[in-house]
Chain A
Amino acid sequence: MNAIYVIWLREMKKYVRNRSRLVGNLAMPFFFLTFLGMGFNSMGITGLPEGISYLDFLAPGIVAMSLLFSSMFAGVSILWDRQFGFLKEIMVAPVSRTSIVIGRIFAGMTSGVIQAFLILAICMLLGVRIANPLGAVASIIFIVLIAMSFVGLGISLASKIEDMHGFQLIMNFLVMPTFLLSGALFPLDKLPAWLAGITYFDPLTYGVDGLRGLIIGTSHLPVVLDFCILGCFCAAMILLARHLFNKTEV
């Protein structure tokens, strides 16, 4: 327990201290919302659910996007610790590897929640219509699940790749498709069948759909189903991270 807190504390200190990362993590969602959202909003896109503007539709997707990017980064940042040698200091301490993994996942989750609600606040300032304030608060369930899932995935990948070159590959070949196929930017039900099929294998699809259901009150699948599938994925990622990190040597 103690070790989980210590690992979490270190990440939090660094998160609070690193203003540029904080601002950077908010800047991209902000640009997407204002430039992409406002842009397409004014075109009057058809095919959206009844009474929903494109900006409303986009908002939960952008929350999910920011969680995907920052959580993957938080997980993969073990690579930085490896590079700068600090991982050895962590590994040689008399604490279990599992508590190191959990500490990192909690840290990624904490910063993810903070960030997600800041973005929701920005959305409201831009005029996004929140269907139900209670739903928006309940969306924290999906925010937590998305964050933990992808921190876990990030840790798993960082345990297998040994250097920084792998990092760029992950960003290009895993994170971008996961984002683009999640339905964050466009509705999935009008896609050609083969592409729609692929999107069901994207775990973020269920995160985006769940957030959309709770925040703007419209979802493609039942929110409970989204919750179950994402919950299973999250548990699998945590177990995978624990398993792979246990096997790494420094």
Chain B
Amino acid sequence: MIEVRDLSKVFNGRIKAVDGIDVEVRSGEIFGLLGPNGAGKTTTIRMLATMTKPTSGQAMVCGIDVAKDPDSVRRCIGIVFQDPALDDQLTGGENLDFHARMYGMPRKEREERINEVLRLVELSDRADELVEKYSGGMKRRLEIARGLMHRPKVLFLDEPTLGLDAQTRRIIWDHIMKLNSAYNITVILTTHYMEEADFLCKRVAIIDHGKILAIDTPENMKRSLGGDLITLKVKDAAKTASIVRSIKGVKQVKRHDNSVSIAMANAGSRIPELLKKAESAGIEVESIDLHKPTLEDVFIHFTGKRIRDQEANAGDRLRERMRARNRR
């Protein structure tokens, strides 16, 4: 459904927002672009949705080249932007009606479809209210409904649950799952929430600094770390790491500033052995943590950083990028 070859976007001839990515998304899939803010997720989506032109490389959406025939691509896709894009001086129904008319849907089909998508996102009884009276979650649902209006084959969701509370987020997730199975629509979403990618996505691409670091199912990614994860908080991480490496059954060892994470099968039963080894080497273990691997661990494995740690810096980068774009 989507084929991306060596796609890049450079702003101002120097800021590489997207740096030569290759992705293939299959029909009917929920595919996630996972990465911190400023990683290049939104820019990628904007190129796929024909809102900005790629600097180099090729992107095919619905079998159509986004650079050659943007209008045909637009008819084939629906998009929900990161920031709200509703007219809150119109009612929910009027927002959908505007969209349907812009896509040239005839009256009868328009009316039927509006009722259908409103039912899907459970907003039928609020259709005649001005959008300014809607809650954040309702606005998001209305935008998703709008993205579906013209029966797109691909739906892009840019940070669909950004800024929503946990409960509302679950409701949005349910709607995304529902529309994916009801219409067999291909969904591409960007997120920096690990749980979201894990819960929703069939496959995930981890993206950072404009590059794709890994593409796989969340399960495979977690399995690739090699079992359970133990994190030891210690003073001397270098020494600890070298000792741990010699222990049998240890699949992977990663050294951080003052901790060491170890991947191994059946880690729970090996903790006593681990502690004994550490003690005999004179290492003081401050705390120990054991858990099944999550996407967060996968992300740390590939980038060496937690996704949240990068947010402040990434935010700055993003702002810089925005300013750069505005200057043109």
A contact set with B: CB distance below 8 Å: 2-3, 5-6, 9-10, 13-14, 17-18, 81, 84-95, 162, 249-250
Contacts and interface: CB of A to CB of B under 8 A. Distances in A.
Contacts of B104: 2
Contacts of B75: 94
Contacts of A81: 87
Contact of B51 (A85, A162, A249): A249
A93 B85 contact: no
Nearest to B78: A92
Given A3-B102, A93-B103, A10 B74 contact: no
Given A2-B104, A6-B101, A162-B326, A86 B49 contact: no
B102 A95 contact: yes
B52 A249 contact: yes
Contacts of A94: 71-72, 74-75, 102-103
B102 A6 contact: yes
A86 B101 contact: no
Given A6-B101, A85-B81, A94-B75, A250 B51 contact: yes
Contacts of B88: 84
Contacts of A90: 102
Given A13-B94, A92-B74, A92-B79, A2 B101 contact: yes
Contacts of B255: none
A85 B83 contact: yes
A18 B84 CA distance: 22
Interface in B86-141: 86-90, 94, 98-99, 101-104
Contacts of B72: 94
Contact of B99 (A5, A9, A18, A93): A93
Among the interface residues A14, A85, A90, which one has the most CB atoms of the partner chain B within 10 A?
A85
Nearest to A87: B85
Contacts of A93: 74, 99, 102-103
Nearest to A81: B87
Contacts of B98: 6, 10, 89
A10 B213 CA distance: 45
Contacts of B103: 93-94
B87 A92 contact: no
B87 A10 contact: yes
A10 B51 contact: no
A91 to B, nearest CB: 7
Contacts of A86: 85-87
Among the interface residues B49, B51, B102, which one has the most CB atoms of the partner chain A within 10 A?
B102
Contacts of A87: 85
A1 to B, nearest CB: 10
Given A94-B71, A95-B102, A18 B79 contact: no
A18 B89 contact: yes
Nearest to B89: A14
Among the interface residues A86, A88, A92, A93, which one has the most CB atoms of the partner chain B within 10 A?
A92
A52 to B, nearest CB: 43
A244 to B, nearest CB: 14
A91 B75 CA distance: 13
A10 B90 contact: yes
Given A2-B101, A14-B89, A84-B84, 17 more contacts: A6-B98, A6-B102, A10-B94, A10-B98, A84-B87, A86-B86, A86-B87, A88-B85, A89-B81, A89-B99, A92-B50, A92-B51, A92-B74, A94-B72, A94-B74, A94-B75, A94-B102
B262 to A, nearest CB: 46
B304 to A, nearest CB: 34
A10 B146 CA distance: 16
Nearest to B74: A94
Contacts of B71: 94
Contacts of B81: 85, 88-89
Nearest to B85: A85
Contacts of B83: 85
9 contacts: A84-B88, A85-B81, A87-B85, A92-B50, A93-B99, A94-B71, A94-B72, A95-B102, A249-B52
Contacts of A6: 98, 101-102
Contacts of A5: 101
Contacts of B325: 249
Nearest to B84: A85
Given A3-B102, A10-B90, A162-B326, A89 B51 contact: no
Contacts of B89: 14, 17-18
Contacts of B326: 162
A182 to B, nearest CB: 32
Interface string B314-328: 000000000001100
B86 A85 contact: yes
Contacts of A3: 102
